[in-house]
Amino acid sequence: MPVPQLLQHELATDPLKRGFDKIADLLAVTLGPTQGVILSKHETRAAPEILSDAATIARRIIALPDRAEDVGAMLARNLVWRQHLRAGDGCATTAVLAQAILRHARAYIAAGGNAMMLRRGIERAGRAAIDALKTMARPAKNEQLAQVAETITGDPKLSALLAEIFTKLGPAAHVTVEDYLAPYLERQYYEGGRFVGRLVSPYFITDSATRRANIADCHVALYAGTVSSIDDIEPLLKIVAETSWHQVALIANEISGTALMTLVLNHQQGKLKILAAELRENETKRAYDFDDLAALTGATILSPETGRPLAKIDPSDLGAAPRVEADADELIVVAGEGDPEAVKRQAAKISARIETLNDNDDEIKDLKFRLARLNGQIAKLMIGAHTEAERNVIHQQAEKAIRALPLALREGVVPGGGVAFLNCIPAVRAVDARGDEAFGVHAIARALEEPFKRIAQNAGLDAPALLIADAQQRGAQFGCDALTGQIVSMDDAGILDSVGVAREALQTAISGAVMALTTETIVLHENPQTSYEP
């Protein structure tokens, strides 16, 4: 049996830092509007792939030649991909912040500082910075959403369309992106909504990149109970097999045992196309979810309490939907064969309940969400361009913005270009800390300058420290327009960021830097399995 190699102290921390830096340095060149590009050459492709998206670049790096450095590189890669999944944007910012925090903190440790006390200071300062970000946030309307989108995509037309979609549908909107033959952009709205649920098995996944299952033009069966035996599902499978669609989404409280095994087997053999999902809210909210699903799809809610177990399902109990999607966190159902009048009655009942509540009532948020999904929360963005390469770039940028804009709607916007992080520094310096903990606070304060400096550096601007001083002297809204090199009001220039994206980037960067900072030992296994997913 191969014996793993054990690295400790400097033999572990130094190569870990070098590997972390290699990824961070690579991604840092993509930060800002001047966006440097990376050429990725795959041995099976004739031409190199041109990349400017930090998350995609990180995902293309499978391993570094030096195994110890590879540990640090994969840590940085994981951080960036986590930021991508959570917020869509801010991936290069995450790498730049994490690298700066780690660099300054390691300098203090090299001088004799205590890593655990530094960690406490870093985390306290991080909380102060995040509170400051939230304080400076202001609401995002259509114009601000378009500006945030343009900061992300660099495409005014695409940004205007995305702003329209999210202004119309709200932060709970689900937007799918499809390639379009015509050389222009188009959007289409659908009725439907999102539910807190989960795909019960990865064997139903149809898109490995997003870890999501989706089926189109399918029957829908609703069961407010537990599905566990073959007898529970056999009648449903027979009914679906006799129809022309041969596709069904089964949504229940719980799906397990031989019932789940049978569903998976039928799906894998291609006899039927199946999506099996569970609703994950508490009992009260789950009952509301079933009501809304029934209104949207026209399906009958079967349950043991009503004397209608799933085993007694009839063809008339099935609803239908043009599209159903599910992953580990959510279920999305595009409105199907539901009675429009039933949807209106359900929406009217919710609206009447909202009218009886105060704006600060805890229940009102859930009711507004239900109302939104009944009234239509799904859109399709169709991406067209003159060449496939151009279309792929626009598609990628749209996906980033679609993840980021809901955060802007929910949490607001702040000045872009790294200015928001600069404005957090006074709050960080005000943190009362002593000894090594104070050095952790100082590390965060120094790191918060790095996004601004790196954007300026990527634009070829000299003396970024002087640019910071000039901008701060003029006011909190001022920063550097990297395209012109001028100090401007970020509001007037339309350079805005989502506070949610900035918050996620800082939190993720701190998490990764602290992990790297407090790692003293690396275990290198012989012939480790290559991970293609970050």
Are 70 and 123 members of one domain? yes
Are 203 and 255 members of one domain? yes
Are 290 and 212 members of one domain? yes
Distance CA 137, CA 123 (A): 21
Are 79 and 159 members of one domain? no
Distance CA 223, CA 212 (A): 22
Are 394 and 461 members of one domain? no
DSSP 191: -
198 alpha carbon, distance to own chain's centre: 16
Q: Which long-range contacts (CB under 8 A, 24 or more apart) does 300-303 make?
A: 300/222, 301/222, 301/223, 301/224, 302/221, 302/222, 302/223, 302/224, 302/225, 303/223, 303/224, 303/225
DSSP letters of 195-253? EEEEES-GGG-SBTTTTBEEEEEEEEEEEEEEE-SHHHHHHHHHHHHTSSS-EEEEEEE
The single-letter code of the amino acid at 252 is A
Is residue 113 included in any domain, yes or no?
Answer: yes
Is residue 22 included in any domain, yes or no?
Answer: yes
Asked whether the beta carbons of 81 and 95 are under 8 A apart, the reply is no
1 alpha carbon, distance to own chain's centre: 41
All residues at 6 or more sequence positions from 53 whose CB lies less than 8 Å from its CB, including other chains: 30, 91, 396, 397, 400
Question: What is the domain count for the chain?
Answer: 3
In CATH, what number is assigned to the domain containing residue 309? 3.50.7.10
Q: Which pLDDT score is estimated for 393?
A: 84
Q: Which pLDDT score is estimated for 2?
A: 61
Radius of gyration of the chain (CA): 26
Are 131 and 155 members of one domain? no
Are 310 and 260 members of one domain? yes
Asked whether the beta carbons of 324 and 371 are under 8 A apart, the reply is no
The single-letter code of the amino acid at 28 is A
Are 201 and 309 members of one domain? yes
Is residue 362 included in any domain, yes or no?
Answer: no
Are 197 and 329 members of one domain? yes
Residue 102's nearest CA partner among 518, 513, 520 is 513
Q: Which pLDDT score is estimated for 360?
A: 55
Token readout for 57 is 């670049």
DSSP 315: G
Q: How many residues does the chain have?
A: 534
* 127, 129, 135, 141 alpha-carbon torsion, rounded to 10°: -110
Are 387 and 445 members of one domain? no
Query: What mean pLDDT, rounded, does the chain reach?
Result: 89
Last residue of a domain, one of 314, 338, 362: 338
All residues at 6 or more sequence positions from 36 whose CB lies less than 8 Å from its CB, including other chains: 29, 30, 52, 458
Please give the C-alpha separations between residue 477 and each of 178, 274, 422, 495, 516, in angstroms, as whole numbers.
37, 52, 10, 10, 34
**Domain, as residue range, for 321:** 193-338
Q: Which pLDDT score is estimated for 119?
A: 94
Using DSSP bridges, classify how beta strands 174-179 and 186-190 pair: parallel, antiparallel or unpaired.
Answer: unpaired
Are 402 and 475 members of one domain? no
Is residue 360 included in any domain, yes or no?
Answer: no
In CATH, what number is assigned to the domain containing residue 388? 3.30.260.10
Per-residue confidence in pLDDT tens, the chain, 534 aa: 466 777 777 877 888 899 999 999 999 999 998 877 778 877 666 677 778 888 888 888 888 888 888 888 999 999 999 999 888 899 999 999 999 999 999 999 988 889 999 999 999 999 999 999 999 999 998 999 999 999 888 899 999 999 999 998 888 787 888 888 888 899 988 766 889 999 999 999 998 878 899 999 999 999 999 999 999 999 999 999 998 889 999 999 999 999 999 999 999 999 899 999 999 998 889 999 999 999 999 999 999 998 999 999 999 999 999 999 999 988 999 876 777 888 888 888 888 888 888 655 678 778 877 887 787 777 889 998 888 888 888 888 898 899 899 999 999 999 999 999 999 999 999 999 999 999 999 999 999 999 999 999 999 998 888 899 999 899 899 999 999 999 999 999 999 999 999 999 999 999 999 999 888 787 887 766 665 555
Ramachandran class of 361: left when φ > 0, alpha when ψ lies in -120 to 50, beta otherwise: beta
Are 152 and 208 members of one domain? no
Is residue 366 included in any domain, yes or no?
Answer: no
Residue with tokens 């550097």: 480
Is residue 248 included in any domain, yes or no?
Answer: yes
Could you read off the pLDDT of 379-432 as tens digits, one per residue?
889 998 888 888 888 888 898 899 899 999 999 999 999 999 999 999 999 999
Q: Helix/strand/coil (H, E, C) string of 109-154? A: HHCCCCHHHHHHHHHHHHHHHHHHHHHHCECCCHHHHHHHHHHHHC
Is residue 477 included in any domain, yes or no?
Answer: yes
Is residue 431 included in any domain, yes or no?
Answer: yes
In CATH, what number is assigned to the domain containing residue 472? 1.10.560.10
DSSP letters of 432-492? ---HHHHHHHHHHHHHTTHHHHHHHHHTT-S-HHHHHHHHHHH-TTEEEETTTTEEEEHHH
